């Protein structure tokens, strides 16, 4: 099922790129925290965030004549992690998980200072678990295929971005986003895990040969 989903994402992206104006690639750091409840509905309050990497790839194009609105579609690979302990039972916990996602976003141009352009972004992504480990004390568990963690999630994000052209066909951008996940499906009476993520990224926007787009 996962392989079919990945193939479908690739086909959709390739098809969209044929008609798109710009391609983008981004990477950066994710600082994630977890809202976790065990099968009895009890939360773990002493979980600490961890830093991981993320990557994104897709296309972007103008959707209005004023060139102040930008639609983007793409795929993302996100790594999340958290660490904590429960002193009452002398347990140590750690999660290290990776999600593959399909993302749709909207960018709004806020203002421009000479060649610097400032934008606000909002996006929603459907993500599914492709790799995950849970460590409890000295024991490591594979989370892929486990009913409690084999969930699809929706990830809503919002943030700001600063963009600067380095040539007539390429621009570089830096940005910050904050996001929160929502479970799409979950087993009854199961462990529940919601994610919070701060992302700091760097990326490039490249005009396609037939696109004479200004940055």
Residue 137's pLDDT is: 86
Please check the confidence at residue 186 and state whether its pLDDT lies above 50. Answer: yes
Question: Which residues lie below 8 Å from residue 63, measured CB to CB, with a gap of 6+?
Answer: 69, 70, 71
**What is the domain partition of the chain in residue ranges?**
2-207
Give me the CATH code for the 2-207 domain, please. 2.40.160.20
pLDDT > 70: percent of the chain: 79
> How much is the average pLDDT of 158-171?
95
Please check the confidence at residue 18 and state whether its pLDDT lies above 60. Answer: no
When mean pLDDT is compared over 39-43, 119-123, 150-154, the highest value belongs to: 119-123
Contact 207, 213 (CB under 8 A): yes
Please check the confidence at residue 211 and state whether its pLDDT lies above 80. Answer: no
pLDDT for 41-98, tens place per residue?
Answer: 777 777 888 899 999 999 998 888 888 999 999 999 999 998 887 766 567 888 899 9
CA dist., res. 105 & res. 121, Å (int)? 7
pLDDT for 103-115, tens place per residue?
Answer: 999 999 999 999 9
Contact 179, 157 (CB under 8 A): yes
Which single residue is written with the structure tokens 């995950």? Answer: 132
Read off the pTM. Answer: 0.82
């Amino acid at each position: 099922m996962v392989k079919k989903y990945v193939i479908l994402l690739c086909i959709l992206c390739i098809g969209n790129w044929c008609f798109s104006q710009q391609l983008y690639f981004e990477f950066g750091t994710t600082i994630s925290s977890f809202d976790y409840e065990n099968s009895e509905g009890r939360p773990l309050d002493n979980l600490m965030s961890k830093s991981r990497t993320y990557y994104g790839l897709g296309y972007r194009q103008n959707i209005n004549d004023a060139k102040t609105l930008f639609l983007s579609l793409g795929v993302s690979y996100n790594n999340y992690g958290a660490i904590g302990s429960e002193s009452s039972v002398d347990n140590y916990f750690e999660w290290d998980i990776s999600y593959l996602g399909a993302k749709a976003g909207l960018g709004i141009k806020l203002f421009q200072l000479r060649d610097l352009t400032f934008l606000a972004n909002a996006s929603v992504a459907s993500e599914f678990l492709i790799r995950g480990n849970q460590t409890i004390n000295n024991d490591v568990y594979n989370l892929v295929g486990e009913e409690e963690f084999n969930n699809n999630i929706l990830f809503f994000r919002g943030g700001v971005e600063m963009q600067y052209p380095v040539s007539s066909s390429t621009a570089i951008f830096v940005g910050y986003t904050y996001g929160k996940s929502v479970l799409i499906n979950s087993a009854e009476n199961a462990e529940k895990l919601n994610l919070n993520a701060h992302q700091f990224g760097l990326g490039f926007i490249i005009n396609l040969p037939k696109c004479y787009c200004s940055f």
